[in-house]
Structure 1
Amino acid sequence: MNKRQLGNTDLHISEVGLGCMNLGTNEQNAKGIIHEAINAGINYIDTADLYDYGENEKLVGKALKGKRQDTIVATKGGNHFEPGQDGWYWDPSKKYLKEAIKNSLLRLGLDDVDLYQLHGGTIEDPIDEVIETFEELQQEGLIRYFGLSSIRPNVIKSYVDQTTVTSNMMQYSLLDRRPEEELLDYLDSNQVSVLVRGALGKGMLTSKGIEQWEKKGSNGFLEYDQNELKQVIEKLQVLAQEANTTPQSIAMHYCLSHPGVSSLILGASRPEQIQHNIKAYYDAPNDEAIVKEVSNMTKEQIYEQHRV
C-alpha cells in the first residue's frame, strides 16, 4: 500500500488507516481486525481514550503485542472521565492531559505513542497551555508528535498559526466537502496532514448506499435533503457501474486526490470489512475525469456552524 508523509515528520502512513472506535469489546474479534489490517499493509492505528472509556485502548494494546514495530499508533485525549463512572466532560487542562496520556500508555502497554491528538476543542480553550503541554510531553518522550481532531476552522487555525501541529483529523467526503473551501489548502500549505474520517458517508457512498440511505438518510445529510441525498447516491451508483468500479472506490479516490490528505481512517467491526476496504482502495480509478464528474454532481459547502 502507498504511504504518505505525516505532516513535516519522519512518519509515513498508509493511505488507508484503521479507526478503532467500532472494534467492539470482544478481544478475539478486535485482535482479528487489527491483525487483518496490519497484514493488508495498514500501518496507522487510531484509537482514543474515550472509546469505551479506555477499554478500546486495552484491546488495541493487546492486539499490538509483537507488532509495534509494524505500526504507527495514535490516540486522543481531552475528554475527562473517571473509571466506573458514567459520562465525561471536556478538560484540555495541562493537569488532565498529562494524566490522560499516562493512563492511555498504561492501557496500550506502550512507552510512547507516535501521535497524540486533542480530541475536540473550542476557541475558549487555554490554547497556549495545551500547546505547552504537548511540547512537554514530547520532551518527556511520551509522545512523538501531536495533532488535532477537529472540524472547527477557527480552532484549527489558532493551533496551526501558533505551533507545529502535525495533523488534523476531520470529516471529509463527497457528501461533506466543507474542508475544501478553507481548510485543505490551508493545512497543506502549513505542512499539516489531513486524516480523513467519514469518507464513506455513513455507508451511503458504498454499493449499499440506498440501503444505508433508507436507514440513515431520512433527515438528509448536512445541506442535502432526503431526496437530494438519494439522487446523489443513485448517480454515484450509475457512474461506478459505467466506470467498472464501485461507489466506495470512487469515494475513497476522491478524498485521496487532494495532496493534503495523508490517510483515510476507516473503521471496521469485523475482519471482512478490512478486506472490503482494501479491495476498494486498490480498485479505485486513477482518473481525474471521475474526480471532476463527482465534484460536479455534489455540493460545494462551507462551515456555517461548528466554527469555534
Structure 2
Amino acid sequence: MTRSPATGTTDRPANPARVPAAPLGPLGAGRQGLGCLGMSEFYGPVDPAEATRTIREALDLGVTLLDTADVYGHGANEELVGRAVAGRRDEAVISTKFGVVRPGPGVGTGIRADAAYVAQACEASLRRLGVDHIDLFTLTRISAGTPVEETAGALGELVAAGKIRGYGLSEAAPATIRRAHAVAPVAALQTEWSLWSRDIERETVGVCRELGIAVVPYAPLGRGFLTGRIRSVEQFGEADFRRFGLPRFEPDNLAANLPMAERLTEVAAALGLRPGAAALAWLHHQGDDVFPIPGTKSPAKLAENAAAVHLSLTPRQLDEIAAAVPADRVSGERWNSESMSYLDR
C-alpha cells in the first residue's frame, strides 16, 4: 500500500470505510448523501435494478441520506427509493421534496406551498415511499404566491404529528430562511453548491450556521463537469437534460469552461486524486454541517464518491483546488432563464 500525498496516511482499500454519521438538524445522516434523480429520468437511460443495487450499496457504505422528490419520474423515483430501502428503513434517512407542479413532461409549471397542499403532498409521498414517516421533507422552491410563514407552519404541524422528522427549504434566500425558521425550526437548506457554484458563500451559509441549519449541496460535482469526464455535449444522450436545459453546457460556454476542468484534473493528480474526489473533498472541508448529495446510478461511482469523505486536505491544498475553478469566471448561468426565475434571491 502507498502513502497518499493528499492525506499523508495509508491509502484506503477500494471499498472505503463507512461514511461517518453526523447531526443533520434533528436527524442523523452520513456526511455524504445520494441524489436519486438520475435513477428515474433527466440523465439518460435508467435501469431500476442497478439503481436499487446502488441505493442498497449506499446504505452499506453509510451513505444514508437518500434524496428524492415527488416529481422525479412523476413519482416513480419515490417508489424506487421505497422499494430499495424495504427491510432496511431504520438505516435510511429519506429526504424527499414537494412543491413543484408538474402535470406533463417538462420541469414544471409552477410552485404550490399553501398549507392544504403541504398536507396533501406529504400524504402522497408517504404512500409512494411506503413508509410511515419522512425524515426530511423539503420545499423544492419558495412560492411567490404563499407566505413562507404559512408553509413553515404547515410543516411544523407535520413534525408535531410525527409524519416528518424535520423540514427543509431549497434555494431560499437568507431573509426567507429567517422568516420560516421563526415559525418552525428549519432542519436543512438544500441548494446548489460546488466549486463552480458558490453564491451561497456570500451570506446564506453564515445565516444557516447562525440558526443551526444543515446545508445539503445538490449538484456538488457540477452535474458531472467537475469529474473531468465531460468534453462535449455529444457525450450526452438525447434524453439528457444537460443538452438543452443548462446554459453552462451549451457548446460555446462548455468550451470556455473546459480549461477549468483540465486545471482541476492537474491539481487533483498532483495530490494523487481524481478531480471529482478533489471537488467533493473540498466541499466536505467547508464544514461538518455540510452534506453533499452527489447523484449516480452506478455502485462503482458511488464508492468513488463516498471515499472523498475520508480525505484530509491542508488549507493550501484546498486553496489550490478552489483556484482551479474560479467561480466568477464560469461561463453561463447554472439554470436556464425559466428555472432561474423560480430561485429565491
TM-score over 0.5 for the alignment?
yes
CA distance in 2, matches of 1:279, 1:59: 25
Query: Could you tell me which amino acid in structure 1 is paired with residue 33 of structure 2?
Result: G
Instruction: Map 1:159-198 onto structure 2 (within 5 A).
Output: 159-198=180-219
Query: Could you tell me which amino acid in structure 2 is paired with residue 130 of structure 1?
Result: T
| 1:241 paired to 2:262 | no
Residue 168 of structure 1 deviates from its aligned partner by: 0.5
Number of the residue aligned with 2:39? 23
Instruction: Map 1:95-244 onto structure 2 (within 5 A).
Output: 95-210=116-231, 220=248, 225-226=253-254, 228-244=256-272
Number of the residue aligned with 1:296? 323
Number of the residue aligned with 2:301? 273
CA distance in 2, matches of 1:221, 1:22: 17
Q: Which of 128-137 and 117-126 deviates more? A: 117-126
Query: 1:273 and 1:143, CA in 2 relative to 1: closer, same or farther beyond 3 A?
Result: same
> Is there any run of 5+ residues in structure 1 with no aligned partner, and where?
none
> 8 Å contact 1:122–1:155 — kept in the other structure?
no
TM-score in terms of structure 2 length? 0.78
Residue 167 of structure 1 deviates from its aligned partner by: 0.3
Root mean square deviation, CA, Å: 3.1
Residue 194 of structure 1 deviates from its aligned partner by: 0.2
TM-score in terms of structure 1 length? 0.87
> 8 Å contact 2:148–2:176 — kept in the other structure?
no
CA distance in 2, matches of 1:287, 1:221: 31
Aligned residues: 304
> Is there any run of 5+ residues in structure 2 with no aligned partner, and where?
1-18, 41-45, 237-241, 334-339
Residue 250 of structure 1 deviates from its aligned partner by: 1.1
> 8 Å contact 2:196–2:327 — kept in the other structure?
no
CA distance in 2, matches of 1:204, 1:239: 15
> 8 Å contact 2:142–2:172 — kept in the other structure?
no
CA distance in 1, matches of 2:57, 2:134: 21
Number of the residue aligned with 1:13? 29
> 8 Å contact 1:33–1:270 — kept in the other structure?
yes
Can you list the C-alpha shifts for 1:132-174, whole angstroms capped at 9, x where unaligned? 1011111221111111122544433432354310100010011
> 8 Å contact 1:123–1:154 — kept in the other structure?
no
> 8 Å contact 2:217–2:293 — kept in the other structure?
yes
Query: 1:84 and 1:212, CA in 2 relative to 1: closer, same or farther beyond 3 A?
Result: closer
Query: Could you tell me which amino acid in structure 2 is paired with residue 43 of structure 1?
Result: T
Q: Which of 266-275 and 128-137 deviates more? A: 266-275
Residue 262 of structure 1 deviates from its aligned partner by: 2.8
CA distance in 2, matches of 1:83, 1:298: 36
Residue 113 of structure 1 deviates from its aligned partner by: 0.9
Q: Which of 142-151 and 117-126 deviates more? A: 117-126
Can you list the C-alpha shifts for 1:37-92, whole angstroms capped at 9, x where unaligned? 11122111111111111111111111111100111111111123569999653211
Instruction: Map 1:77-96 onto structure 2 (within 5 A).
Output: 77-81=98-102, 88-96=109-117
Residue 228 of structure 1 deviates from its aligned partner by: 4.6
Number of the residue aligned with 2:290? 262
Residue 288 of structure 1 deviates from its aligned partner by: 1.8
Query: 1:230 and 1:82, CA in 2 relative to 1: closer, same or farther beyond 3 A?
Result: closer
Number of the residue aligned with 1:42? 63
Identity of aligned residues (%): 25
Query: Could you tell me which amino acid in structure 2 is paired with residue 272 of structure 1?
Result: A
Specify the SS of the correspondent of 1:263. coil
